[in-house]
């Protein structure tokens, strides 16, 4: 005879409503882990999308994501000639803001050389960029459709969406868009006509737009990446970062503050959940004091009573957790940023929930163990 189950069944509506509230709280904890996972995944995805072995950037910088990096556009030819380099491609990175359907939209623009490393991969719709100018491949979270024209840059040039990607966003949630390197350089480095005229008027020469932010290089499998990196850094104006170094920079430094903030929110939510679970269990036990006294009076051992409280606490935790997880999974597509639910993190939240439930039930157990069997003889009905 399972007393915990019978009690839950008897007070089913109260149990369901209490657990629904708890599931919302646990759902938020699970969601925060999803946001955290998404933050890491998006940050690393940017670097991993390039499929690079080496990142050649401006000397003394941790570019192109952690710091700005600007190197001459012909660096790609220079890098290509280094022993061990199989392929290389020049890239630029910049954030732009445009207007889509009368709403401002931020995009993270990547300029690349079609046919060389650094371009998009795994399109979910459309095609690669084939024309030299004004074509764009964009993440579908931007809400653009194939064939749609989108104005970009100070000149208001319109770019046509020719391809769509999935899950290509920055660590801050902005959709990624790919355009050709030439277009990207024009957007990033060319001055708007009034500014260019003013520069000419004051006698300054027009700055060349043939600048890039980094060169992405693929290294031959027969050559050590570190050796190639060492060879590249002999040029005093260049630095070379391996893919591993780039990922470390992104995951440990670029998103460190956001990671800590989310960690703090998660710890606070776990504490709040623990307090709420403890109060719920304490209240449920308070409601059963007379039944507990009766059970003790007729000879129930302490373990029967402890078992009842612990089983109810665990049922509450498991039910709340599963409902919370289900709510997160159902509403995940509508969340304003990408949630990545890492199975390990989800399992850790489950373990934390169980530990919190067990710890929280001690308050109820203490109360139950203090109940005097003689209370069953009290005259109130």
Partner 1 sequence: MTGTDKKPVVKVEHLSKHFGEGSARVEALRDINMEVFPGQVVGLMGPSGSGKTTLLHCIACILEPSSGRITLDNEVVYDQRWLKADLRRLRLDKIGFIFQYPNLLPFLDGSDNVAIVLHLAGVASGPARSRAIELLDYLEVGHRKHALPKQLSGGEAQRVAIARALANRPRIILADEPTAPLDSARARIVMDLLKRIAVEQQAAIIVVTHDEMILDHFDHIYRLRDGRLELDSPPVPPVKAAPVESA
Footprint of partner 1 on this chain (CB under 8 A)? 1, 3, 6-7, 9-11, 290-291, 294-301, 304, 372-374, 376-377, 379-381
Q: Minimum Å distance from CB 273 to partner 1? A: 26
Peptide bond into 37 cis (omega under 30): no
Q: Minimum Å distance from CB 358 to partner 1? A: 23
Dihedral sign, CA of 68, 70, 73, 75?
negative
Question: Residue 209 or residue 311: which is nearer to partner 1 going by CB?
Answer: 311
Q: Minimum Å distance from CB 6 to partner 1? A: 5
CB-facing half-sphere around the CA of 362: CA atoms within 13 A = 8
Q: Minimum Å distance from CB 16 to partner 1? A: 15
Question: Residue 247 or residue 375: which is nearer to partner 1 going by CB?
Answer: 375
Question: Residue 77 or residue 372: which is nearer to partner 1 going by CB?
Answer: 372
Question: Residue 149 or residue 287: which is nearer to partner 1 going by CB?
Answer: 287
Question: Residue 236 or residue 370: which is nearer to partner 1 going by CB?
Answer: 370
Residue 52, phi then psi, degrees to nearest 5: -100, 155
Measured between alpha carbons, how far is 40 from 344 in angstroms, rounded to an integer?
14
Question: Residue 101 or residue 379: which is nearer to partner 1 going by CB?
Answer: 379
Q: 3-class SS at 54? A: strand
Q: Minimum Å distance from CB 339 to partner 1? A: 39
Measured between alpha carbons, how far is 108 from 97 in angstroms, rounded to an integer?
9
CB-facing half-sphere around the CA of 78: CA atoms within 13 A = 17
Q: Minimum Å distance from CB 332 to partner 1? A: 37
Question: Residue 274 or residue 306: which is nearer to partner 1 going by CB?
Answer: 306
Q: Minimum Å distance from CB 293 to partner 1? A: 8
Measured between alpha carbons, how far is 158 from 154 in angstroms, rounded to an integer?
11
Intra-chain end-to-end CA distance of the chain, in Å:
25
Q: How far is CA 271 from CA 6, 23, 27, 353, in A?
A: 30, 15, 14, 11
Provide the 8-state DSSP code for 375.
G
| Residue among 233, 236, 237, 376 nearest 300 (CA) | 376
Look up residue 147 and give its two tokens: 């064939």
Q: Are 313 and 281 in contact (CB under 8 A)?
A: yes
Measured between alpha carbons, how far is 176 from 94 in angstroms, rounded to an integer?
10
Q: How far is CA 66 from CA 54, 213, 320, in A?
A: 16, 12, 40
Question: Residue 203 or residue 299: which is nearer to partner 1 going by CB?
Answer: 299
Q: Are 340 and 41 in contact (CB under 8 A)?
A: yes
Q: Minimum Å distance from CB 3 to partner 1? A: 8
Question: Residue 48 or residue 290: which is nearer to partner 1 going by CB?
Answer: 290
Q: Minimum Å distance from CB 302 to partner 1? A: 9
Measured between alpha carbons, how far is 28 from 49 in angstroms, rounded to an integer?
30
| Residue among 47, 56, 99 nearest 75 (CA) | 56
Q: Minimum Å distance from CB 373 to partner 1? A: 5
Question: Residue 297 or residue 350: which is nearer to partner 1 going by CB?
Answer: 297
- List, in sequence order, every residue forming a beta bridge with 93; answer none if it has no partner: 110
């Amino acid at each position: 005879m399972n007393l915990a189950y019978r009690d839950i069944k008897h007070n089913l509506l109260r149990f369901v409503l209490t657990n629904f509230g708890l599931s919302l709280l646990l759902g938020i904890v699970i969601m925060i882990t999803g946001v955290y996972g998404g933050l890491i995944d998006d940050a690393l995805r940017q670097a991993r999308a390039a499929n690079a072995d080496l990142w050649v950037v401006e000397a003394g910088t941790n570019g192109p994501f952690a710091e700005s990096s600007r190197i001459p556009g012909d660096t790609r030819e220079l890098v290509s000639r280094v022993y061990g380099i199989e392929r290389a491609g020049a890239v630029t990175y910049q954030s732009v803001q445009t207007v889509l359907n009368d709403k401002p939209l931020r995009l993270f623009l990547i300029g690349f050389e079609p046919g060389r490393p650094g371009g998009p991969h795994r399109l979910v719709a459309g095609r690669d960029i084939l024309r030299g100018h004004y074509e764009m491949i964009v993440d579908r979270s931007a809400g653009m459709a194939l064939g749609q024209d989108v104005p970009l840059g100070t000149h208001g040039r319109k770019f046509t969406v020719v391809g769509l990607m999935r899950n290509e966003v920055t660590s801050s949630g902005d959709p990624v868009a790919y355009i050709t390197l030439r277009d990207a350089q024009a957007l990033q480095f060319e001055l708007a006509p009034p500014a260019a005229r003013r520069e000419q008027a004051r006698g300054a020469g027009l700055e060349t737009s043939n600048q890039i932010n980094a060169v992405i290089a693929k290294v031959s499998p027969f050559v050590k990446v570190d050796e190639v990196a060492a060879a590249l850094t002999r040029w005093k104006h260049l630095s070379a970062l391996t893919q591993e170094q780039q990922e470390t920079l992104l995951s440990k430094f670029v998103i460190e503050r956001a990671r800590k903030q989310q960690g703090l929110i998660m710890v606070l939510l776990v504490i709040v959940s623990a307090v709420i679970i403890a109060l719920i269990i304490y209240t449920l036990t308070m409601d059963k004091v007379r039944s507990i006294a009766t059970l003790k009076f007729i000879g129930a051992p302490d373990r029967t009573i402890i078992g009842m409280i612990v089983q109810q606490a665990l049922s509450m935790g498991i039910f709340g957790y599963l409902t919370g997880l289900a709510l997160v999974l159902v509403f995940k597509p509508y969340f304003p940023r990408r949630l990545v639910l890492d199975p390990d993190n989800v399992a850790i939240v489950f373990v934390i929930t169980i530990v919190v439930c067990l710890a929280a039930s001690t308050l109820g157990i203490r109360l139950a163990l203090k109940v005097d069997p003689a209370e069953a003889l009290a005259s109130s009905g």
